[in-house]
Each structure stands twice: as structure tokens, then as C-alpha cells.
Chains A and B, each alone.
Chain A
């Protein structure tokens, strides 16, 4: 091989290594933030519903700080190379999606859309060839959300909140109906999707227990419970 070619190859490789190192640093930061987020959000299982808003307020600054990471990553990635480096941060990004959607659910009881998650994480549309929130990552985040909610259904009953499991049940079923519309191929998303039914089963059992003992008040919810039980 002639020297100029060898030099060119080395130059290209050095450039890649440099980018990779820088991304790795940012992703480490990102990881730290999402770990803190998940750690703080773990407290929802032992927090009474009255105190949830104040817990969420204490978590929000951490979530907002993810915006800095998004901006830093978008600045690092060369044009059109989003998919090339994306594997490096998917796990952190999915955790961030999970945290954002969970917080929103606890606050409003509804599903946060993909564009809204992007907005909260400070991901700008014009970065879409460098740093974006893909449908796949968003859906992975949602599955984590459902996993977590099935646990919350159990723990909220322990804390004396008998309505929560029923609300969760309605919400999770809506999300599940959404997932059922997708043509998933045999990949990680498909496997995690398959796990959703166990979460739903667990939530249904809680709803059943609660409604059988007439612990849950409203009539609308007992309709729901009957529907679940049958």
C-alpha cells in the first residue's frame, strides 16, 4: 500500500477515535443523570400520593439537565452520522424517555408523546441527522414505563391507594393496544413487547383483588374491574 493511502486511512481512523472518545465522555455524564433520575423515581413506590408532586418537583431539575447533554452530543456528531453513533447512547436515552413519561403519567395520568419527550430532553428537530429521538427508543422507554407501573400498582395498594391500580390498568391497556398495532420483527423491541403481557396480568390481579373486596370506590371502576375479571 502506498504511503499516502496509509496516511489517509490513519487520518480517518484517528478522527473516528476522537469522536468516539468525546461521545463516550458525554454518554457517561448522561448515564450518571439517568441513574440519578431512576434512583429518585424509585421513591414513588414508597411515597403517598399527596407527596408525589413534591417528589416530582425535586426530580425535575435532573431531568431538565439532560438538555445540556443533548446539546453537547448534537454538537459532536458530524452531519448525517446519527445512526452511526447512536448505539452508544440508546440505553441512556431510553432511560430518560422512561423517566419523562413516568413523571408525566404521575402528574397528568396520560401518555407523553414522542415530540413532547424530545422537547423536554431539549432535542431540536433541526438536529435530526445528528441527534434525535427515534421511534424505537421512545417505544423502549414506554415498555420500561409499563414495567414500572405494574410494580407501582402493587405498591400503591400497600400504601392504601386503591384507585391507582385501576387507573394504571386503563392506561397500560391503552398503551398495550397501541403496541399491538405494530408489526414488530424478531428484535429486542419484540421480546420486550412480549413481556408486557405479564405486567398486564400482574396489574389485573391487583385490580381483581381490590375490586373483589370492594376497596375501590367508584362505580366506573367496578365496571372496569368486572370487565377485567371476566
Chain B
């Protein structure tokens, strides 16, 4: 014990605490700065998501959905690059072991960014962005990552995406005019046959719900494709919920999103099988269904409304 250092005078103690103060101040200031940038990133990402929604739902002039999606993705890409630069600016603050110290402060922005990025990626490539692809967007030019991408943030970001897709799917259905592209449905059917669906119940249900609709060629491509994607996400994510506390909560929201789309799909299938109705009339029916499904009308009013309230609450 004689070799060890100790402080016997008040001055010595104060000098040591002086050092601690600098250390704690440094930590708190950095934390504040990161929270601020995380908030900025969240804002910028939300704007990208709105931009995508706007282009996809207002672009009535565009004849081809695919071209519209590509245009939206291209516009989003510029904005996303700005956000990537914001991450690059953060890099210096989270060098080495520091990243994990501040991960909780960085993660809200990171998740929102992943949501925006995956939405744009989905519109462009019609598939789910992979972990590696997300990490690649968070690298310097020399290919070294700004910081390691936490699996948790990746999964939670994707989980949020399903909510956006639900909103998007519903608004797509209610759009007037058939935007059905035979080739796209064809792709979808092929994907189905190729066993894109897991044998798990959830996705099977959605497959059954959707099948009659595209058989009749009534539902436009984006919607069916969303159902598939959300069902996929839901199935994969279910297995990961034990790993993260937040994921279970988001998983509930995902299931609700899926159910909403299924309800709409079901309404279209049932009603259009009864009557041989022209597409314009179908549009009216669909519009009504969408309104009631979104604002808690038709079946089990209260239960439905509560569920929607929950959803809104979770998303905030």
C-alpha cells in the first residue's frame, strides 16, 4: 500500500476534483452536442420521408408508377447525402470507444435516418435495404465507417419503415384510376411462387388475403408489394424481439399496419367478387373503405379507434 498514491491535503483533493470537473464537463458538453445533431438528423430525415410521400401521391401526371418511384428516390438521394454529411460531422465526437458511450444519444436520429433511407431504397429497388448497405452509407470516402452501425438501430429503423409503407399503401389504393401494370403483378406472382412467403402463419394469411385481389387485377402493385414486404419484416423481426426491448413494441405497430392493409385488401376482394362493377365504381368503394379504416369507422368502432390512437402514440 506504501507505493500507492493518496491525497492528504485539501488542496491535493481539490486539484484532483478539478480534473474530474473538466472530464465531466467535457462529457456533458459532448453529449449535448450529439443530442443536438441527432435532433437535426431526425428533422432532416422526417423531411425526406414527407418528400417521398408527396412525390408518390401527388405525381398523377406520371403515367408510370415505377418512373415515379425512381424520380422520388433520386430526389431523396440528394437530401439523404446531406444527412450523411451530418453523420460525417459527428464522426469526430464518437471516435473509438466513445461511440458506445453516446450511442443512446445518437440512436434516435440514426433510426429516423434508416427509416428514410430504407423507404427511398425500397422505392428504387423494391427490396429491403441490408445491414451492410446501410453501413456503407455511413462511411467516409476512404470506406472506413464513421462508427459501427448498431444492429438494434438498424432493426428499429426498419420497423418504423413499415408504418410509412402502411400509410403509403392506403393512400395508393384510394388514388383514382387503375395504375395496375400487368408486368408488375406478374413479378409479384412469380415472387410468390418462388416461395418469398415464409411458411409462417402471418405471411401466409396476408398471401391469402392478397391473392384473390391480384388474381382479379384490381389492386395496384405498390400495395400488394407492401403487404408482402411488411409481412416479411414482421416474420423476420418476430424472432429478434427477445434481443431488444423496443423492438417488441414496434412489432405490435407493424402487425397493426399489416392488419390495416389486409382489411382494405379484404374489402376490395369481397365487394368486387359480388358484383361485376366497373373500376370507377370500385374506386368509390375503396375510398370509402380507406376512410373508415383510417378513421375508425365500420367494424368495431371503438376498438379500432383505440388501436389507431395507440399507433399514433407509439410513433411519436
Contacts and interface: CB of A to CB of B under 8 A. Distances in A.
A135 B20 contact: yes
A13 interface: yes
Contact of A80 (B13, B99, B127): B99
B4 A119 contact: yes
Contact of B18 (A113, A114, A128, A181): A181
B232 interface: yes
A2 B25 contact: no
Given A113-B16, A184-B24, A2 B130 contact: yes
Contact of B100 (A12, A16, A80): A80
A84 interface: yes
Contacts of A112: 4-7
Contacts of A4: 130
Contacts of B28: 183, 185
B92 interface: no
Interface of B: 1, 4-10, 13-14, 16-18, 20-21, 23-25, 28, 96-101, 103, 127-128, 130-132, 151, 154-155, 232-233, 236, 240, 243
Nearest to A12: B151
A183 B151 contact: no
B128 A2 contact: yes
Residues of A contacting B: mostly: helix
Given A82-B97, A181-B18, A183-B24, A5 B131 contact: yes
A50 B24 CA distance: 40
Contact of A81 (B5, B13, B97, B154): B97
B5 A115 contact: yes
Contacts of A6: 236
A182 B96 contact: no
A223 interface: no
28 contacts: A1-B233, A8-B130, A8-B131, A9-B151, A9-B155, A80-B100, A81-B100, A83-B100, A83-B101, A83-B103, A108-B8, A110-B7, A111-B8, A113-B6, A113-B7, A120-B4, A129-B97, A174-B13, A175-B13, A177-B17, A178-B13, A178-B14, A178-B16, A182-B21, A183-B21, A183-B25, A184-B24, A185-B28
Contacts of A104: 1, 4, 6
A13 B13 CA distance: 44
Contacts of B6: 104, 108, 110-113, 116
A107 interface: yes
Interface in A7-29: 8-9, 12-13, 16-17
Interface residues of A, number: 45
A55 B24 CA distance: 36
B8 A181 contact: no
Contacts of A179: 17
Interface string A161-183: 00000000000001101110111
Interface centre among B24, B28, B101, by most chain A C-beta atoms within 10 angstroms, is B24
A110 B101 CA distance: 32
| Ranked 3 nearest A-B pairs via Cβ | A178-B17, A83-B101, A84-B100
Contacts of B100: 80-84
Contacts of A119: 4
A76 interface: no
Given A108-B1, A178-B17, A182-B20, 13 more contacts: A5-B131, A5-B132, A8-B131, A104-B6, A112-B5, A113-B6, A128-B97, A135-B23, A177-B13, A179-B17, A181-B18, A183-B21, A183-B28
Contacts of A107: 1
Interface string A92-117: 00000000000010011111111110
